[in-house]
Chain A
Amino acid sequence: MMRIPCPHCGPRAQSEFIYERTVDSVVPLDAPSQEAMTKLFTRTNPRGVDDEIWRHTYGCRAWMILTRHRVTNEISGCRAIGPEALP
């Protein structure tokens, strides 16, 4: 079980979090049909570092983007998203 550095709560056990999807599979609201389907059904699935959307469901309930190595589980970054995180 990984330890995930929640940007709001600090390091917490993975069991408090739920994985949503990879960042590259997010379908933008204005995506044309072809692009939307590619996002939904074609995965890059890299053997290495990837950006993933997680939610601290059993904690602060905030969403975040986690940068994780998919082989070693090494987490190299975690940043908050949402209205409060807008520049």
Chain B
Amino acid sequence: MINFSFDGKAYTAQTGDTLAAALLRNGIGLVGRSFKYHRPRGIMTAGVEEPNALVTVGEGGRAEPNTRATDVFVYEGLVARSQNRWPNLNFDLGALFSLASPMLPAGFYYKTFFGSAKRWMLYEYFIRKAAGLGNAPTQADPDRFSHRAAFCDVLVVGAGPAGLQAALDAAEAGKRVIMVEQDNILGASLIRDPQELDAAWIETTAARIRAAGGRILTRTTASGYWENDLVTLTQRLSEPGQTPTHGVAQRLWHVRAGQVILASGSIERPMAFAHNDRPGVMLSQALRSYVRRFGVIPGKRLVIATNNDDAYKTAQALKDAGAQIVAILDARPAPAGANSGHRVYNDAVPLSTKGARHCLKSLSALVDGKTMEWDADLLAVSGGFTPVVHLHMQAGGTLDWNEDAQAFVPASSRQNVTTIGGAAEPQPIFKMVPVSKPKKSFIDFQNDVTLADVDLAWAEGYRSVEHLKRYTTLGMATDQGKLSNMAALGRLAEKQGVAIPEAGLTTFRPPYTPVTMGLIAGAGAKDAGAHVRRLALYDLHAAKNPIWQPLGYWFRPRSYPNGGETLAQAALREAKAVRNNVGMTDVSTLAKFEVSGPDAAAFLEIICATTVSKLAVGRGRYTFMLREDGIVFDDGTVWRLDENRYLLTSSTGGADRMATHISYVRQYLCPHLRVSAVNVQEHYAGLAVAGPQAKAVLAALIGEDPPRHMSTVPAVISGVPVIILAASYSGERAFEIYITASDAATVWAACETQVNALNGALYGLEAMEFLRIEKGHLVVGGEVDGRMTPHDLALDKMLNKAGGYIGASGLSRPALSEPGRRQLVGLEAIAGDIPEGSMLIPSEGASPQGHVSAAAFRIIEGGSVALGQLVDGFSRHGEILIASSPTRGQKARVRVAAAHFYDSAGERYRD
């Protein structure tokens, strides 16, 4: 006995029950409300094709909406709730939509779009409220989802008689076999029809497969078939909503198979007749499963409607179980199963049903041209069998039409896949045509599509099956038309007056059954979506409790507040220390490349748009790189360390992109050059010392005069060899010191001692922003935004006149030097603080002529300044504009100026 609840009421189930079986066992016929009309719905199938019995299982973050009650096994404490009803399942106000159904025909949404916008606004509210399935959980899923890769010689999908035999043969022939079964036990059709091969045979076969090294995965669905025989499997380690034993709720397998055998069986088809969606109407094989597998008889008086022999097995099963078989309606004209002992009507096709909200009471049928009626509380229908060809089709296969079975069967494939068993050879059926009124004759139960909707779409000119599908939403529900597609195709072919294969088919797309998003994300969910790269000196910084800032994959100190300082206060103190005294900061994350070899300079002059070969040994210069279309995409510095050895730095955020770019140029465009370009970004840690006292700090550290501006020397600090680059980003005298990362802590400590001795400070990214904006230096991602040419950024005088660099020919396009382009300018506030990201307008209400890319203030004197991009900005210095940010409700009056507000002659760092 297992306890579970449905809509707040406690029930008990038997071991092995699906939720659907348990509900039927407890006499619950009404399980859900339909998507569009809120019609009462029950349980129709016993498998993953279930369109009606969708429930939410579990609570909190584990809640799984739209779970098929037929595809969840009851566990102790299972909590299930019905969906799409208000205030409750029995009394659902949304069912009023059913009354309004004449107003909600196929293409209803599209038709409202063509009406006035006001009408749509009105409808939208009600449609959003009324249509739908379960609600997505709002809490985070507490469980883990794992991924696993596997390889095998033979992958068998489906553990019915054909699949088991195939797996056994392959395994005993010495092949590596994986067999998957979506059910939690093996056998498939043998579970409901154990006559020929029984449970003992299944058990023996499974044991032999395992003994031969085969792997059998139950509760595992082959959900997608991809290129080169890759099949994805979704394995449930716990049931929906259940707390997993080992924390892992589901596992996604990527199986690369040598050969795939599909023994996926077939899905029974319903029949189209009026009110065929009433609780109490079931598929014949499903009913047989409930009786034989679960011992549940969900009715007392049974009528069977069929067009094939298989349904007679259901009659037998029900008779054995003690139910009363009222009638068998056989669509075939000739007597079949005449000696079955049941009352059989030939040439009999169902017309309609009657009943109450949660049960069936009677049905009518057309028998040999006359209407007849029977009292019944259970109707089993069998409209034929649709082979499960989804994986075969996902693999790029083709289909053949099997006239006897009125079904598509797998034909050829361009991958190594074969289909066997019921999926390859479905049972023969009699071709029947619905005779009921098309209204309320449902074919897509989940999306509430009737024969009338198909007829309407046809009447409105939708001829192709692809258009029909989208117009009526047929086959677009979570069951992806497993039950409905063939019925719709039959109706369409009938209208077109062609055979079904000529009417065409829609595309089979993965996944076969719905997959939770968490499973796809796997361990990449939450914070693990992007990896974190830690500074070599992370522990040193962390001990000072800084404010951290993400920068690409990195986290860098944004500032180091003292006591109760705010970010702004701390950053200003740090920036003032640099301007007045000295500061130091960690610059380890800058992209760094060591380029060496006889052709190193030639290679760099392809990557960089500036000259490189004229650099003397020990000197460096600012440089920038262009995309092939002539737009600046990164900048940095290049240093000649030795005759044939250079160090190139570029931005942190663009580091990976630059590494790929350099590799592409070296490997693809310039394989003939004698050069090596090595990414040394993380090999070297780096720190920068900046300020009027920086020279004194360096002199104390290296025991000699430090190099002059834009020069480099090797040196030794505290016994550690370092590279010193004299370069300034802050606008002050500054030095960058690069150290092998593992030795960086020693040098950092020595440097910090000197900086502290001179009353200096550590500074973070925020202070660095203040300093560089005031100085007018660029940042990649700010001023260098993927739209600016060297000319727009006033860098054109530095271009290599000889050309030959990447982007040279793109840059020569006339449009890139026409007037009207946005150009880099400085902006000084006349009144107010300049909002970052604001637009630049000449007057209120005018169109924007530019924007503010970075805003800060004069560090010593105060006053808001910014960098921006303004149409023809170079010739507009002195003009007054408004920097306006309507989204923040902030604005300032600004004067256009040159893009540097501090020491424009560079006297503070030149010798």
A residues near B804, Cβ cutoff 8 Å: 29-30
Q: In the docked arrangement, what's the CA distance between A86 and B804, Å? A: 22
B667 touches A32 (CB 8 A): no
How many CB-defined contacts (below 8 Å) exist between A and B? 72
Query: Given A33, A62, A81, A85, which contacts B809 in the complex, CB threshold below 8 Å?
Result: A33
Contacts A1-B226, A1-B254, A29-B804 given; does A37 touch B810 at CB 8 Å: yes
B668 touches A63 (CB 8 A): yes
B residues near A86, Cβ cutoff 8 Å: 671-672
Is B812 an interface position by the 8 A CB rule? yes
B629 touches A53 (CB 8 A): no
Chain B 612-669 residues near chain A, CB threshold 8 A: 628-629, 660, 663-664, 666-669
B residues near A31, Cβ cutoff 8 Å: 809
| Interchain nearest-CB distance for B612 vs A (Å) | 16
A73 touches B813 (CB 8 A): no
A62 touches B669 (CB 8 A): no
B residues near A10, Cβ cutoff 8 Å: none
B629 touches A29 (CB 8 A): no
A2 touches B228 (CB 8 A): yes
Query: Given B606, B668, B813, which contacts A37 in the complex, CB threshold below 8 Å?
Result: B813
Is B876 an interface position by the 8 A CB rule? no
Is B467 an interface position by the 8 A CB rule? no
Is B230 an interface position by the 8 A CB rule? yes
Interface residues on A, range: 20 to 34
Interface residues on B, range: 20 to 34
Is B198 an interface position by the 8 A CB rule? no
Contacts A3-B227, A3-B228, A32-B809 given; does A82 touch B667 at CB 8 Å: yes
Chain B 662-706 residues near chain A, CB threshold 8 A: 663-664, 666-672
Chain B 210-264 residues near chain A, CB threshold 8 A: 226-228, 230, 254, 256
| Interchain nearest-CB distance for B391 vs A (Å) | 15
Query: Given A2, A20, A37, which contacts B227 in the complex, CB threshold below 8 Å?
Result: A2
Chain B 396-439 residues near chain A, CB threshold 8 A: 396, 414
Is B806 an interface position by the 8 A CB rule? yes
Is A46 an interface position by the 8 A CB rule? no
| Interchain nearest-CB distance for A49 vs B (Å) | 15
Q: Considering the complex, give the chain B residue whose CB is closest to the CB of A18.
A: B660
| Interchain nearest-CB distance for B787 vs A (Å) | 16
A residues near B228, Cβ cutoff 8 Å: 1-3
B810 touches A72 (CB 8 A): no
B residues near A1, Cβ cutoff 8 Å: 226-228, 230, 254
B residues near A3, Cβ cutoff 8 Å: 227-228, 230, 256
Q: In the docked arrangement, what's the CA distance between A42 and B396, Å? A: 30
Q: In the docked arrangement, what's the CA distance between A50 and B176, Å? A: 35
| Interchain nearest-CB distance for B738 vs A (Å) | 24
Q: Considering the complex, give the chain A residue whose CB is closest to the CB of B673.
A: A83
Contacts A3-B230, A72-B396 given; does A40 touch B628 at CB 8 Å: yes
Q: Considering the complex, give the chain B residue whose CB is closest to the CB of A35.
A: B809
| Interchain nearest-CB distance for A1 vs B (Å) | 5
Chain B 710-740 residues near chain A, CB threshold 8 A: none
Q: Considering the complex, give the chain A residue whose CB is closest to the CB of B806.
A: A29
Is A36 an interface position by the 8 A CB rule? yes
Q: In the docked arrangement, what's the CA distance between A37 and B631, Å? A: 13
Q: In the docked arrangement, what's the CA distance between A86 and B806, Å? A: 22
Contacts A1-B254, A29-B806, A40-B810 given; does A63 touch B664 at CB 8 Å: yes
Q: Considering the complex, give the chain A residue whose CB is closest to the CB of B675.
A: A83
B663 touches A63 (CB 8 A): yes
B residues near A83, Cβ cutoff 8 Å: 667, 671-672
A33 touches B810 (CB 8 A): yes
Chain B 785-825 residues near chain A, CB threshold 8 A: 804, 806, 809-810, 812-813
A residues near B227, Cβ cutoff 8 Å: 1-3, 14, 73
A residues near B226, Cβ cutoff 8 Å: 1
Contacts A2-B227, A3-B228 given; does A62 touch B806 at CB 8 Å: no
| Interchain nearest-CB distance for B328 vs A (Å) | 48
B628 touches A27 (CB 8 A): yes
Is A61 an interface position by the 8 A CB rule? yes
* Residue among A30, A33, A61 having the largest count of chain B Cβ atoms under 10 Å: A33
A40 touches B667 (CB 8 A): no
B residues near A55, Cβ cutoff 8 Å: 660, 663-664
Is A26 an interface position by the 8 A CB rule? yes
A residues near B254, Cβ cutoff 8 Å: 1, 13
| Interchain nearest-CB distance for B864 vs A (Å) | 40
B810 touches A36 (CB 8 A): yes
Q: List 14 A-B contacts (CB under 8 A).
A: A1-B226, A3-B228, A28-B669, A29-B606, A29-B669, A29-B670, A32-B809, A37-B810, A55-B663, A72-B396, A73-B227, A82-B671, A83-B667, A86-B671
Given contacts A13-B149, A83-B671, 19 further A-B contacts (CB under 8 A): A1-B227, A1-B228, A1-B230, A2-B228, A3-B256, A13-B254, A27-B809, A27-B810, A35-B809, A36-B628, A36-B810, A63-B668, A73-B227, A81-B667, A81-B671, A82-B666, A82-B667, A86-B671, A86-B672
Which residues of A are interface residues toward B (Cβ below 8 A)? 1-3, 13-14, 20, 26-33, 35-37, 40, 53, 55, 61-63, 72-74, 81-83, 85-86
Which residues of B are interface residues toward A (Cβ below 8 A)? 149, 226-228, 230, 254, 256, 396, 414, 606, 628-629, 660, 663-664, 666-672, 804, 806, 809-810, 812-813
Question: Which 6 residue pairs across A and B have the least CB separation, nearest first?
Answer: A3-B228, A82-B667, A36-B809, A2-B227, A33-B809, A63-B667
